[in-house]
């Protein structure tokens, strides 16, 4: 297994924290980032308590967290995403940037994919052109990731991107969550389909009072 140095931008939120827990538990080196180093510290304390010695995560402001990382997980809300990525573009140069950002809206009829001109992942690629962007981990629920250390082996991680090397990184990192390689779902533009699919899952969760996920059939063993 390749061990990656991973920075989580937005690591104080449930999704960043929970994926950090999984990555660190699988042996990767993880630093949680936040706009406030103090909030990152609080989140890191929670993750480290949960890891109970099976890994340890660090904490810093977002910009500092990126230093020394070879992989960056972007786990911030779509609102504010463009400004944040633009502000970090210089620090993101040369890194694999994995976006799990879902541009979603909610109204009285439930969740829906926002009508956006480009996916969040494509937006990140445009705003941080010296990073190599992939989309992945959109469909895993933070509560499921956080609930236990058991592998979510009934779910698949769908990965899209235009660079095969960067995609291979996310495909390998998926093992920390599902125990299996992620699934190569195609080009980065397919993030336009993957991101809003999360609205369907949230809707199913509401209807069935569950935490649904995605599993692809027909793959070779």
Ligand X SMILES: NC(=O)c1ccc[n+]([C@@H]2O[C@H](COP(=O)([O-])OP(=O)(O)OC[C@H]3O[C@@H](n4cnc5c(N)ncnc54)[C@H](OP(=O)(O)O)[C@@H]3O)[C@@H](O)[C@H]2O)c1
Which residues within the stretch 146-175 sit at the binding site for ligand X (CB under 6 A)? none
- Determine the Cα–Cα distance for residues 203 and 209; give it in Å rounded to an integer: 10
Q: How far is the CB of 187 from ligand X (least distance, A)?
A: 20
Q: How far is the CB of 67 from ligand X (least distance, A)?
A: 17
Cα torsion angle, 18, 23, 27, 31, sign: negative
- Position among 31, 91, 141, 212 found at the interface with ligand X (CB under 6 A): 141
133 binds ligand X (CB under 6 A): no
Residue with tokens 């992989």: 71
Between residues 55 and 135, which has the closer beta carbon with respect to ligand X? 135
63 binds ligand X (CB under 6 A): no
Q: How far is the CB of 5 from ligand X (least distance, A)?
A: 20
CB within 8 Å of 216: residues ≥ 6 apart: 156, 158, 183
100 binds ligand X (CB under 6 A): yes
Phi-psi region of 60 (alpha: psi -120 to 50; beta: other; left: phi over 0): beta
212 binds ligand X (CB under 6 A): no
- Position among 27, 68, 80, 129 found at the interface with ligand X (CB under 6 A): 80
Q: How far is the CB of 79 from ligand X (least distance, A)?
A: 6
42 binds ligand X (CB under 6 A): no
Kindly list the strands in the beta sheet with 71-74, ordered across the sheet, starting from the edge strand earlier in the chain.
57-61, 29-34, 5-9, 71-74, 96-99, 132-135, 158-161, 183-186
78 binds ligand X (CB under 6 A): yes
- Position among 59, 97, 101, 136 found at the interface with ligand X (CB under 6 A): 101
Between residues 29 and 102, which has the closer beta carbon with respect to ligand X? 102
CB within 8 Å of 76: residues ≥ 6 apart: 9, 10, 13, 16, 84, 101
105 binds ligand X (CB under 6 A): no
- Position among 77, 114, 151, 200 found at the interface with ligand X (CB under 6 A): 77
Q: Using the rule CB under 6 A, give the single segment among 64-72, 96-104, 152-160, 183-191 that binds ligand X.
A: 96-104
Alpha carbon 83 to its chain's center: 18
CB within 8 Å of 194: residues ≥ 6 apart: 119, 135, 138, 139, 158, 160, 185
Residue ranges that bind ligand X, judged by CB under 6 A: 10, 12-16, 34-36, 39, 75-80, 84, 100-102, 138, 140-142, 198
């Amino acid at each position: 297994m390749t061990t990656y140095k991973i920075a989580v931008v937005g690591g104080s939120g449930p999704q960043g924290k929970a994926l950090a827990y999984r990555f660190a538990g699988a042996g990767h080196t993880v630093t949680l980032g936040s706009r406030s180093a103090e909030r990152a510290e609080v989140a890191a304390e929670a993750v480290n308590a949960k890891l109970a010695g099976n890994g340890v995560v660090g904490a810093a402001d977002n910009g500092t967290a990126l230093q020394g990382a070879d992989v960056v997980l972007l786990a911030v809300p779509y609102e504010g995403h463009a400004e944040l990525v633009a502000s970090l573009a210089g620090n993101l140069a040369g890194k694999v940037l994995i976006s799990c950002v879902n541009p979603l809206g909610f109204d009285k009829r439930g969740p829906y994919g926002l009508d956006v001109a480009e996916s969040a992942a494509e937006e990140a690629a445009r705003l941080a052109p010296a990073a190599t962007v992939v989309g992945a981990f959109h469909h895993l629920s933070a509560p499921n990731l956080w609930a236990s250390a058991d592998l979510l082996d009934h779910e698949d991680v769908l990965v899209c991107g235009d660079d095969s090397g960067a995609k291979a990184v996310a495909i390998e990192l998926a093992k920390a969550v599902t125990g299996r390689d992620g699934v190569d779902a195609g080009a980065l533009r397919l993030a336009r389909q993957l991101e809003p699919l999360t609205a369907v899952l949230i809707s199913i969760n509401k209807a069935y009072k569950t935490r649904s996920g995605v599993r692809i059939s027909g793959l070779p063993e």
